[in-house]
């Protein structure tokens, strides 16, 4: 079994946690990241980092062959929902078009195993909660649409080639490596927990709560938060599933229960 994995976007928040989990599981990892949001310091010593664009097919092909890559784990992309609304073409370029190029490179290089960082945003505003993998996909923003398009490309590629994939639809990712080796280090926080933490540590003077009239016990929005280390472990499980001969899968990654905005703020206060 080939134990060499290419991790795109591996210097980012979730990618860097996955790199740690893969190494601890015995995999050899090489990372490609354009460092637009990732940080070299997020990676442990000894992990090769190639600075580059996943849409650069010649570069990715060279990395696959040079490092003997047997599987690709794809995190690279843009993730800020409001920005996707104001600059949709950036998201269709960075998420959809770049993923298309990466998938084509993998097919041409005879990579048979591919794990994709998708999102629960593909569901849009679900009618039933908790959401199952069979729930209708109806994204309400370009971010969710750009990810769903990539899922479609993976589905169709797997039907046409010797190629299997796992698409993991994340809910709200939270937390950091328990040993403090990496964490959420983006300079402009968009996550509730990080914004609340910045208020506590004096980096912000207040936090705004948007919406207090939701149909929830305390009126604020409820989200399913998954710890980033659990999510990283899910990627290792997904890779083992594929290398053990398992078929393509689309899976939700969450706990199936949520916490409201007020719940989160009370926990931070405590």
Please list the active-site residues: 143
Question: Left (φ > 0), alpha (ψ -120 to 50) or beta: where does 140 sit?
Answer: alpha
- Give the distance from CA 233 to its chain's centroid: 13
Please name the residues in contact with 257: beta carbons below 8 A apart, sequence gap of 6 or more.
130, 224
Please name the residues in contact with 183: beta carbons below 8 A apart, sequence gap of 6 or more.
13, 176, 177
Residues belonging to the chain: 270
Rounded Cα distance, 1 and 8, in Å: 21
> Could you give phi then psi for residue 8, rounded to 5 degrees?
-85, 140
The H or E element that residue 74 is part of is: strand 71-74
Residue with tokens 């790199």: 19
Please name the residues in contact with 164: beta carbons below 8 A apart, sequence gap of 6 or more.
112, 113, 114, 158, 242, 246, 247, 248
> If DSSP codes are grouped into helix, strand and coil, which group holds residue 29?
strand
Cβ neighbour number for residue 175 with a 10 Å cutoff:
16
Give the CA angle between residues 17, 23, 27 to the nearest 5°: 125
């Amino acid at each position: 079994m080939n134990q060499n994995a290419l991790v795109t976007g591996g210097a980012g928040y979730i990618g860097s946690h996955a790199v740690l989990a893969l190494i601890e599981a015995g995999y050899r990892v090489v990372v490609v990241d354009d460092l637009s949001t990732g940080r070299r310091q997020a990676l442990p010593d000894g992990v090769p980092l190639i600075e580059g664009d996943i849409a650069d097919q010649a570069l990715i092909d060279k990395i696959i062959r040079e490092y003997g890559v047997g599987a690709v784990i794809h995190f690279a992309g843009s993730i800020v929902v409001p920005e996707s609304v104001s600059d949709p073409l950036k998201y269709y370029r960075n998420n959809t078009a770049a993923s298309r190029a990466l998938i084509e490179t993998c097919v041409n290089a005879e990579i048979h195993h591919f794990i994709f960082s998708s999102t629960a945003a593909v569901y849009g505003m679900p009618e039933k909660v908790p959401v199952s993998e069979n729930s209708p996909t109806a994204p309400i923003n370009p971010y969710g649409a750009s990810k769903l398009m990539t899922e479609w490309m993976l589905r169709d590629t797997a039907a046409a080639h010797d190629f299997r994939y796992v698409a993991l639809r994340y809910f709200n990712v939270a937390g950091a490596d328990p040993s403090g080796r990496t964490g959420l280090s983006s300079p402009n926080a968009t996550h509730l927990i990080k914004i609340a933490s910045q208020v506590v540590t004096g980096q912000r003077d207040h936090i705004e709560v948007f919406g207090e009239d939701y149909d929830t016990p305390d009126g604020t929005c409820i989200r399913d938060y998954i710890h980033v280390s659990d999510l990283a472990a899910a990627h290792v499980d997904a890779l083992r599933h594929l290398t053990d001969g398992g078929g393509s899968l689309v899976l939700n990654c969450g706990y199936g229960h949520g916490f409201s905005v007020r719940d989160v703020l009370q926990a931070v206060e405590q």
